């Protein structure tokens, strides 16, 4: 007997069996599971609190028995795999005949077999998520590249369904999104959504085979060390319900991440750090940063003083201290229920909490609105690129990484550009250089010194090309990688400093008016210098540059 081929949609994607099952009529209800959900759920945009809410609705959970569930009691699987509701709820639901196996009422002694369909109809309450828009970074006939907001899960999971990226795009943009890469709910940044099965499969395969480079931006506790930092520590999922991961030198899976400091802020003792994961383990960047003592500053899991205590889990190996792990796990279980979340940056409790009252319709437990520790994580997927150089996508820098000091420095660089004398053959550019603590140590502007001197060149000349380690250079336009006059390009001048400048911030990429192929960015990054764009000043900078 030939194997039955999977059903596919118009774009070549497999249609999951549970999707087909959801279009069957509900016994005694006259509508299908899909119709009941669609008629009941709708968005409410709460602009006062900046939250996207979903009205409560009836929903029937459908799932087929996973391999690891086979030959186990249904009640045991609910206890170990599902965290959305307390165990007492699941026990009562099964005992009262509200859970079905293959359309037949199940009981607490029911055992799962291969292929079993589990169904459970509930009155569903979703947590609100941020109202931040889903930005389209790139789109063609085969793929959509988005800038995912923080705090929104990629696809329906746990307590979230309509408040997920794929459902929001489907209902508000009319886009059927098939994800190619994964980001945690709290992580923002680059996501690829395939429009065709062939393109999606190709992208997924590239990522799976590690043929894709990834660059993330994080804001961490403390003064991150200079130079390339390599963390090569295997990771193990300790509790799948909490998605709780730790370093495990014996049983963990291979995990390696490279880190470079971008800048340090003395005001709040935080560092902006470039993170380059070479493997793709769950919470890899977050756990590696925690392990070396620089956790993401507002991480409600891995920088929580309540969960970890004063050490915040630095260097923690759970097998060497199982008692501490038990305490950490127990405290983690309370977050979002009897304890609000905390983080190193926001140590005061602020977050979702289980309320005393229940739903008037179904009696389900209700929660308070999420707080600052629940909605935003300072971790952003900034850039993904093909090692084969066939594609390269990036987003704007996240606001939390450049607001304040960095923008002020770019504004001062613009003021320097205003000092340039008139010319029709060169750009007017301004430059500011700071030390690692953000103090200005030099300024410069185009043609400040005799000859066709560039802004970066002038600022470096004032320092006699001797800068303190960790210095940062702000320039209104991209440093030149080629000089038609024969002078040394500014990119080479920066590279020759051998790491004294760790980051170059630019206000706009140099137009291809004088140099057809400016390779400055690639050269700087190859030399270990961070190259980043501060957006929002392009029009002003270009007007000054060519006045």
Catalytic residues: 184
**Helix or strand or coil: residue 533?**
strand
Q: Which of 290, 271, 296, 263 is nearest to 188 (CA)?
A: 296
> Tokens for 307?
């969960």
On whether the CB atoms of residues 502 and 261 are closer than 8 A, the answer is: yes
Angle at 158 between CA 182 and CA 107, to 5 degrees: 135
List b or e across 485-515, with b for residues whose CB sees 16 or more CB atoms inside 10 angstroms: eeeebbbbbbbebebbbbbbbbbbebeeeeb
Report whether 276 contacts 299 (CB < 8 A).
no
Other CB atoms within 10 Å distance of the CB of residue 420: 20
Cβ neighbours, 10 Å, residue 202: 15
Task: Please give the Cα distance from 79 to 69 (Å, whole number).
Answer: 12
Beta bridge pairs of residue 530: 503
Q: Where are the alpha helices (DSSP H) in 309-380?
A: 322-334, 372-375
Distances, alpha carbon 18 to alpha carbons 64, 156, 312, 336, in Å: 8, 14, 42, 30
φ/ψ of residue 531, rounded to 5: -125, 115
Structural contact between residues 485 and 453, judged by C-beta atoms closer than 8 angstroms: no
| CA separation for the pair 136, 173 (Å, rounded) | 11
Q: Is 268 exposed, middle or buried (0-12, 13-18, 19+ CB in 10 A)?
A: exposed
């Amino acid at each position: 007997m030939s194997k039955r081929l999977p059903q596919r949609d118009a774009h070549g994607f497999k249609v999951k069996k549970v999707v087909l099952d959801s279009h069957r009529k509900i016994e005694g209800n006259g509508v299908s599971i899909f119709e009941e959900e669609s008629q009941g759920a709708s968005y409410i945009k709460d602009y006062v609190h900046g939250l996207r809410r979903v009205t409560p609705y009836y929903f029937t959970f459908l799932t087929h028995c996973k391999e690891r569930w086979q030959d186990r009691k249904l009640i045991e699987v609910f206890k170990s795999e599902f965290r959305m509701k307390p165990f007492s709820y699941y026990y009562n639901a099964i005992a009262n005949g509200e859970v079905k196996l293959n359309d037949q009422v199940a009981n607490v002694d029911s055992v799962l077999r291969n292929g079993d369909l589990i169904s459970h109809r509930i009155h569903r309450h979703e947590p609100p998520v941020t109202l931040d828009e889903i930005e389209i970074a790139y789109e063609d006939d085969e793929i959509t590249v988005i800038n995912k907001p923080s705090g929104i899960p990629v696809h329906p999971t746990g307590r979230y369904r309509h408040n997920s990226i794929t459902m929001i795009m489907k209902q508000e943009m009319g886009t059927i999104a098939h994800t190619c890469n994964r980001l945690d709910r709290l992580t923002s940044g680059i996501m690829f959504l395939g429009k065709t099965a062939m393109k999606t499969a190709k992208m997924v395969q590239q990522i799976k085979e590690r043929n894709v480079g990834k660059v993330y931006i994080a804001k961490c506790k403390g003064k991150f060390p200079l130079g390339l930092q390599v963390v090569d520590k295997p990771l193990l999922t300790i509790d799948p319900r909490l998605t709780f991961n730790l370093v495990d030198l014996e049983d963990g899976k291979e995990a390696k991440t490279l880190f470079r400091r971008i800048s340090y802020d003395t005001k709040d003792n935080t560092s902006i750090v470039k993170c380059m994961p070479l493997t793709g383990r769950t919470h890899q960047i977050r756990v590696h940063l925690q392990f070396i003592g620089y956790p993401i500053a507002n991480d409600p899991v891995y920088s929580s003083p309540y969960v970890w205590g004063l050490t915040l889990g630095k260097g923690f190996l759970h097998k060497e201290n199982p008692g501490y792990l038990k305490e950490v796990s127990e405290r983690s279980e309370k977050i979002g229920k009897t304890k609000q979340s905390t983080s190193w940056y926001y140590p005061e409790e602020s977050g979702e909490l289980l309320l005393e009252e229940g739903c008037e319709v179904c009696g389900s437990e209700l929660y308070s609105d999420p707080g600052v520790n629940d909605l935003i994580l300072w971790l952003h997927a900034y850039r993904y690129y093909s090692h084969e150089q066939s594609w390269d996508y990036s987003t704007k820098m996240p606001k939390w990484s450049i607001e304040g000091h960095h923008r002020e420095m770019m504004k001062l660089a613009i003021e320097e550009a205003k000092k340039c004398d008139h010319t029709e053959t060169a750009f007017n550019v301004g430059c500011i250089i700071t030390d690692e603590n953000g103090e200005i140590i030099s300024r410069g502007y185009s043609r400040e010194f005799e000859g066709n001197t560039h802004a970066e060149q002038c600022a470096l000349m004032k320092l006699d090309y001797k800068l303190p380690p960790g210095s940062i250079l702000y320039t209104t336009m991209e440093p030149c990688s080629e000089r038609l006059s024969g002078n040394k390009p500014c990119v080479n001048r920066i590279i020759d400093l051998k790491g004294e400048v760790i980051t170059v911030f630019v206000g706009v990429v140099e137009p291809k008016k004088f140099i057809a192929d400016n390779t400055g960015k690639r050269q700087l990054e190859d030399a270990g210098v961070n190259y980043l764009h501060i957006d929002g000043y392009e029009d002003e900078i270009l007007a000054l540059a060519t006045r």
